[in-house]
Structure 1
Amino acid sequence: MQNSNQEFKQSESLLKKQKTLILFTIGPVQEFIAQARRTRDLWFGSYILSELAKAGAKQFEESEGKLIYPVIVNNNWDQVSAPNKILGVVDTDNPRDFVRNVRRTITDKWMETAQAAQDKMKSFINVGMWERQINELIEFNAAWTTLEHWENKPAEDGKEEETPYSRALQHVEELLAARKTLRDFRPNNPGRVFGEVKSSLDGGRESVWSKGRPEDPKLAKLGIKAFETLDAISVVKRMAFEIYPQKEKFYSVCETAFHPYQAYINKYKGVQQKVDHYLQAIANCLGMTSKDQLMRKDGEYDARLFYARRIEDFLEEQGGLKAPEVEEKKNEITTQLESLYQSGNKPFRMKQPSPYYAFLVADGDRMGDHLRRIKDEDSHRRFSEGLSQFAIAASGIMKEHKGVLVYGGGDDVMGYLPLHQCLDAVQKLRQSFARNMQEYTFSDSDTAFTLSAGIAIVHMLEPLEEVRQLAHAAEKKAKITRDTLAIHFHKRGGGDLMRVVLPFLNNPADQMKKIQRWMIGDKLFSAKFAYELRELYRTYESFTAPSQWLYESDPSKLADLLWHEIERLAVKKKPDKVPKEKIAAWITELKEVFLLSSSVEPLHQLKHMAEQFILAIHLEKEGVIYEEETASISS
């Protein structure tokens, strides 16, 4: 009888509610976001993952759990994107059922979204295949540990500075990482017929069209092309604004690339008159009563009408036109567009809009090191609050600079921007991250919070998956030195991929504005000077072991020598009409902006200087000018 009572007490203690640290993730992240042909695919892939994470986080709190990451500022769930990783604590005697309940909520949210798309597309799809692909998508992994266990367990030798919370956090991270190494193998459910058509966006899934690609004008208005054979997940993405009609419209990459040209049109009355005449000709071609019918709701021009290769997209989305009519109207509008760009005599001929835009990827530096400094739950929550505040600020910064925030959760930012705004935007993101994190994090942090960013400058017709890869490669380059901006300029149709690395401490946005003022406004140098700077760097960089003959005796000698070389080039390559006295004054200003010091290897600084001058030339060729607030730059 005594043994039975002991067994009962032991089983009762096992059912006692304990404070449990729970970590779960939602996926697939890369697969779901990366498979995108249109910007709405890219944005919605990120958006729906965020919505699923929010649903899981809300359920966590409604089940009496307390979130540690993310922290939703002022309980405003609409302000910020939720990361795919959720951490929190809860008093529970059954963490497995608690986690299952969260998972069920996330799955229900996804099924609700998919059902909304299915209801609108039912007449076009193979329902059985649709349901199979939808049901197999969501990946959910979770791990947990009780905090009481770590409070009672002594610290290992050499790790006495760790707290029970920090050890529990590390353990649950390790458990989740181990869980992710295991794959869930589902039974194979092949398509109805061997060799069934594959999705044009995801080769691992079949197309869900019931009979090839249905010919229906409704699909064209949704942005589904005649050649696209889409799987269920891709169809859901393409239905973004049908499922969530209340979401504000976001700019496509075409509209984003067009922003500098929109400013050019607005700036000059004569240009605006020519554009209005062109739009009226298009309105007449399409049987419209006024050119105003071609304007967007926000009063700006439809960017597709200014790029010959996007006119067909515009006509297809209008609807009501058969294929031969689309071709006929496209040719007529293209002829009108060519006339617009050929109007005026040199040098006053109409400019053409640049087809290039900037794709940005950024995240915080040494975040793992900062997290390891966290010793308790409250500090971790303050740290998370700083990340949430930064995410809110990042959204505002992207909007302010006419950009589109694809994803902004935690310390991660992904989006795209017009070329003439991207440097200012990324500089403000870096400043905002440092400010918010230092304000909200734990008090004993003596390490500065910095951000590294990669920008890929690409043509708007480049596949989005490749664009993301270029931006991530640039970010990886920036991460080598940290607190750095790396820019990869990818010219369409061949040519070298230009790579530029710019430390944020040098304020690259302000430097670019000064360079373009010297080049365009003051006409102090030409492209030859910029490329000679790069050759100067390569020449000195090719010398073997420069430290043996310069650095050891006096580190400042190389900096002085390089400045003498720069002065020589500035005078030698100066434009004919510029007097030497003006060049001498410019060299003084140049030294103030690009200080070659012995504290950082002077050759590296010369390289950054040369790369930035060359980048300024490339941007000017694309009609992109960064205007200083205190300086007037001609257009």
Structure 2
Amino acid sequence: MSEALLIFTFSPVQSFIAEARRTGDLYAGSRILAELAAAAACSIGDQGGKVVYPQSAAGGDMPNKLVALVPQASAASIGRQAEAAVHDRWRGLAAEGLDGLVHLGATRPDGTWQAIWERQTAPGYLWQCFWAAAELGDGGYAEAYRRASATVDAVKHSRLFPQAVEQGEKDSLSGKREALHLENQSGRRYWREVAGLPTVTGALLRKDGRERLDAIGVVKRFGNLYSDRKFLSVSSIAAAPFLAAARPRLSPYRDAVERLLGETLYRVSDDAIWPYDGDLLFEDTLTRQRLFASYGAMVDPDELRAARAALNNLYEVMHSKKVAPPCPYYAVIKLDGDDMGERISACLREKEAEAAHRRFSQSLAAFSSRVAQVTKGHRACRVYNGGDDVLALTPATAAIPFVSALAEEFRSHVGATASAGIALAHHLSPLDAALEAANEAERLAKGVPGKAAICVGLLRRSGEHVFVRSSQRALAEPLARVLQLFSSDVLSGRLAYEVCQAAYALPEPGAELTAELKRLLLRHSQGKVGEDLALQLNAWAESLPEPEPGLFGSRVEELGQWLVLARFLASQGGEDAT
């Protein structure tokens, strides 16, 4: 029986994940994508297909691109059935979301509500599938792969976009689709009533009623894949290092919070010591406005003052233990293998192309199976890892060590390098802005010659956004050293800004820059640090990529901004670290 090579994929992916206002949306979106891909893979396997990519990985997610060998005679039928499986699974997920919303006590849908729901969850409204099959002829596996891949690309670029009229108030996740509502009720009022239900906690909807969802948002937020206990909020992620250090001394503040919020306080975990959201570990949460918006609580002024006093006392106790208040910043991380297209091309050039592609697929699966373990060691929250892609969130100070550990695992299992974009964002800033910055940082990292690079985007709440790039190898030692010197107050924070100023006169690394760095280091360390670090920083500057238009005027300026970032991290995200 002759065989054909089938390539199957679907979209949207990145834009679907990015429609998120909270980490639970992000997590649910990635799970939905994995569920749809798994449905397609199962359908192909059930009809006699043999999946070449991806190989199964314990703990990994199914990517949205599948490569399989299928019987030539039934290739078209298998492709159509895989597409039907994607839509069937989506209908099942949509039904779960609707059941979850109704189960919580939301008003039963009327005709207007149902019409919006059916339009937005219909097959073809959101998901588009693309597939092509090529017979394994004289050119074998490699030629069939090239032909099928070219056909899929051509179909994707010539696809028709479905037109849909989206009237009325728009949803909060995408900002583009009509929010669900009843016939004689606005979307704003409908969702305010849902948020006010006693069964709906602030972990599901803001209690001030400012969130409105469309059908796709309901599938994410109220389906079985979403759970306020499965994925930490960005506030909890940012506060995780402080929480770990403060656990033995939390009980007085926990008691004060429980008195303050009473029945409006909801649990996000089964942790007996601190089962609540990390936003309550930040002083700026303890205002009447914030507590009403997040918890729907009308708090007693005396209890509020008592809670603030208890939190400040906790800060003072931890300060005596040399532990700073929680850093208000967290990291969004996107890691991606370098030159994966060329890696596949190399497989196709081998005599046994199919076997080579399978080995490559197995190496990616081996990496994916290790991501969860690396995640645990860095207090990271894994959103997605499939193939060579990883999307995760970490506390701000854990981001670069986490990326370095992931990149080493990738090199060890795949034999290739990986690059990463990191966005450091304030826990009160919009999540979608952090995701967009992480995408941009990944793009900039991929532009570094030779790759194996990191780009960090710092999104200060004051509005300033700065991106810095470096190869992973070049930054490891000097960054670790200056972080330690800033953290121990051996180096003054002014050093970083004076290096930035020096870049105007000394834009290129070399002997003159080394001399100036030595002078600045001696001045800002009271003579404790000098020539050896100056040489190390100059070497780091020499290794930095050529300036990216619109980012920096010189490599020395970018070095200065790396030092600013190091000081920022050492000061736990202090906005005015000097």
Structure 1 partner of 2:307: 336
Gaps of 5+ in 2: 548-553
Structure 1 residue matching 2:347: 3-state secondary structure: coil
* Kept in 1: contact 2:31–2:225 (CA 8 A): no
What is the one-letter code of the residue matched to 2:120?
Q
Given candidates 552, 565, 568, the residue that maps to 1:618 is 568
Query: Deviation of residue 613 (structure 1)?
Result: 2.3
Q: Does 1:405 align with 2:408?
A: no
Q: Does 1:32 align with 2:5?
A: no
* Kept in 2: contact 1:26–1:49 (CA 8 A): no
Distance 1:461 1:346 in 2: 23
Structure 1 residue matching 2:242: 3-state secondary structure: helix
Range that drifts further, 83-92 or 391-400 = 391-400
Query: Deviation of residue 465 (structure 1)?
Result: 1.6
Given candidates 195, 198, 201, the residue that maps to 2:170 is 198
Structure 2 partner of 1:41: 25
Query: Deviation of residue 94 (structure 1)?
Result: 2.6
* Kept in 1: contact 2:470–2:545 (CA 8 A): no
Structure 1 partner of 2:119: 132
Structure 1 residue matching 2:298: 3-state secondary structure: helix
Distance 2:43 2:92 in 1: 16
CA 1:80/1:121 → structure 2, altered by over 3 Å: closer, same or farther?
Answer: same
Structure 2 partner of 1:121: 101
Distance 2:171 2:262 in 1: 37
Given candidates 132, 156, 160, the residue that maps to 1:180 is 156
Structure 1 partner of 2:470: 502
What is the one-letter code of the residue matched to 1:90?
V
Residues 341-377 of structure 1, C-alpha deviation per residue, up to 9 Å, x if partnerless? Answer: 2675998599532211011112111112222112211
Range that drifts further, 130-139 or 119-128 = 119-128
Residues 283-331 of structure 1, C-alpha deviation per residue, up to 9 Å, x if partnerless? Answer: 334558xx9x97941345331222355467777887xxxx5xx122588
Structure 2 partner of 1:529: 495
Residues 258-302 of structure 1, C-alpha deviation per residue, up to 9 Å, x if partnerless? Answer: 012113424xx6xx2xx42222223334558xx9x9794134533
* Kept in 2: contact 1:260–1:420 (CA 8 A): no
* Kept in 2: contact 1:27–1:49 (CA 8 A): no
Distance 1:345 1:134 in 2: 53
Structure 1 residue matching 2:490: 3-state secondary structure: coil
CA 1:477/1:238 → structure 2, altered by over 3 Å: closer, same or farther?
Answer: same
CA 1:524/1:230 → structure 2, altered by over 3 Å: closer, same or farther?
Answer: closer
Structure 2 partner of 1:446: none
What is the one-letter code of the residue matched to 1:229?
R
Query: Deviation of residue 491 (structure 1)?
Result: 0.7
Structure 1 residue matching 2:199: 3-state secondary structure: helix
Identity over the aligned pairs, expressed in percent?
27
**Superposed counterparts of 1:601-616, under 5 Å:** 606-607=556-557, 609-616=559-566
Distance 2:62 2:318 in 1: 52
Structure 2 partner of 1:239: 222
* Kept in 2: contact 1:35–1:465 (CA 8 A): yes
What is the one-letter code of the residue matched to 2:471?
P
Q: Does 1:588 align with 2:532?
A: yes
Residues 50-74 of structure 1, C-alpha deviation per residue, up to 9 Å, x if partnerless? Answer: 111011112212221111111114x
Q: Computing the radius of gyration over CA atoms, which structure comes out larger, 1 or 2? A: 1
What is the one-letter code of the residue matched to 1:525?
L
Structure 1 residue matching 2:26: 3-state secondary structure: helix
Structure 1 partner of 2:453: 484
Distance 1:257 1:599 in 2: 31
Structure 1 partner of 2:70: 90
Structure 2 partner of 1:277: 252
Distance 2:127 2:519 in 1: 63
Gaps of 5+ in 1: 1-16, 152-162, 439-448, 547-557, 625-635
Query: Deviation of residue 560 (structure 1)?
Result: 3.1
Query: Deviation of residue 229 (structure 1)?
Result: 2.2
What is the one-letter code of the residue matched to 1:333?
L
* Kept in 1: contact 2:245–2:323 (CA 8 A): no
Q: TM-score, normalised by structure 1?
A: 0.76
Residues 115-141 of structure 1, C-alpha deviation per residue, up to 9 Å, x if partnerless? Answer: 112223344432232122111232111
Structure 2 residue matching 1:486: 3-state secondary structure: strand
Structure 2 partner of 1:418: 395
